Structure 1
Amino acid sequence: MSTAVIRNGVDPSKTMSNNAKRRKMEEKYAISKKPSENGHKTNGEKECVLLRKNQFGDVSDGFMSNGDWKKRWDNKQTKFHKEVYHDILLSYYDAMVNNKTKCRFFVPLCGKSVDMKWLLDKGHSVVGCELVELGVQQFFREQDIEYTVEEIPNITNGKLYKGVKDDICIYTCDFFKINSATTGGKFDCIWDRGSLAAINPSDRNRYHDVILDLLEEDGRYLLDVFEVDHKEFAGPPNNFLKEDIHKLFEEKCNVEDLKRRNAMTKWQKQWNVDYFYECVYMLTFK
């Protein structure tokens, strides 16, 4: 006897009909029901939501699976990658390191961020975590860093890319599978360059738990998120208001509001959003 797996209330036997309906909505993609937290309930279940365009130009409900992210890298849809060092990191670097000459840095959902090379050149130990192996391979190749690859114990299909002569490594696996035991200890600094804003809203509490497990008691967490209009834009990035940050972290952390700036560019205008603000916070344990 076989049992169909129902995910988010969807019966696989109805996939064809659902896909047909979805295709018909390519041009007229809004439906009437209002989304909750950009289309995701906080308990991880999805409700009937608006189908809007995402940053890749596809009609979407805003949910991104691991396979979806891999597809974007395979299709070279990585406009979110910055070719230059992030100015927020440069601006608040001194506050992060807090007079320490050598820190252990963690960069979640790192992709092939050049910020990691900048931190490495500053003399720090750098650890990243990235789901998509292609991005990790591109980082080491583009930065001309010789590396080895080994399996990550107890993480299925997990791989550790490790610099041979450079103090850098990237865990290639599901972010939610790692912890401070996996990474060989905690971190003095965490540089979150939009990764919290990229995950599905239903995963925010899980993300919070992983990040705080990785942060040293006297560590500093520099967080970069966005306030973004979701009327016609599906995300990611997902909207993150000041009160959302405080609600998520203030029980255990001091939350310092550092910066809020208009970050609208031609790219964001293509998303049909009315506003796009970048917001920066520094978090420390109470």
Structure 2
Amino acid sequence: MDPSDMHKNSGYHFKLIPHSFDNHTWKIHQTYRLKVAYTHNPSKFWIITKINKLDRFHKYLQFFYRNYGRGFVIAKCNLRWYKYGVVYVYESYYRALLVTVPLEHEDKSVQAFLVDYGISVEVPPANVYVLSDELLDVPQFAIRATLSRMGPFNSPKWTSEATDIFRHMVKDMVLAGKVKRVDTVRRIVELELDDYYCRARCMSLVKNALLAKQCAIPLTGFEKESELKFREPPFFEIEAGVDQDTECVKSTLEKITLSYPEIPDMCPLSIKQIRML
């Protein structure tokens, strides 16, 4: 990307970042290789299917904004004109949907949703940068997902213990996600999860582990949606910053930063090349 092109995007903020969900031809009972990017609870988490592509994209983003970001900070008085930006949080740069922005006279943070990781954060207005057309055209990587036909054990909502156990089970793992249901309107995929590298031997590994630990119970599939209180709040509210686990957000983002100890002085890939991967 040529830094001189960064501001040649008047009106770009009216465009929408395309969605990786739409790039898949989701088929029931088909298995996809994936990682869990962030977990709110077992009924609300975000997955990545383009694992290697996101890795390269994240490196590119760090390289570019570490070298050229100073020139592309959005003035606080102009934030309201931008739908998307690049935000700097916990020593890394991320593409973000700008959910709420302060007025010029307000001493408030920007509420932002990191579209490639499924995480909501608050950042100072000074930590928001222009997002170029090139970066805008890359589909967001995080996809909404829910664990198929599972509900909390003896509780109307998922307990922190059950959520922590689920997080521990899936963190850093390459998983096999078998599609059980697809909500094309809200872009949610319902999955059964197993260890990708032993999927021939491990059947419903995550589900059975949660059942064995008495963290979850199976659902019949005939329950009314209005009765499933544990599925609240909806995804869009979580993405807007509702009911956030700030400690989990912090540890997740700190871990992402630590996983990229060195960003090369010369980035080997252009955005065009990344999109072709």
TM-score (normalised: structure 1): 0.26
Q: Which has the higher contact order (CA 8 A, sep 6+)?
A: 2
TM-score (normalised: structure 2): 0.27
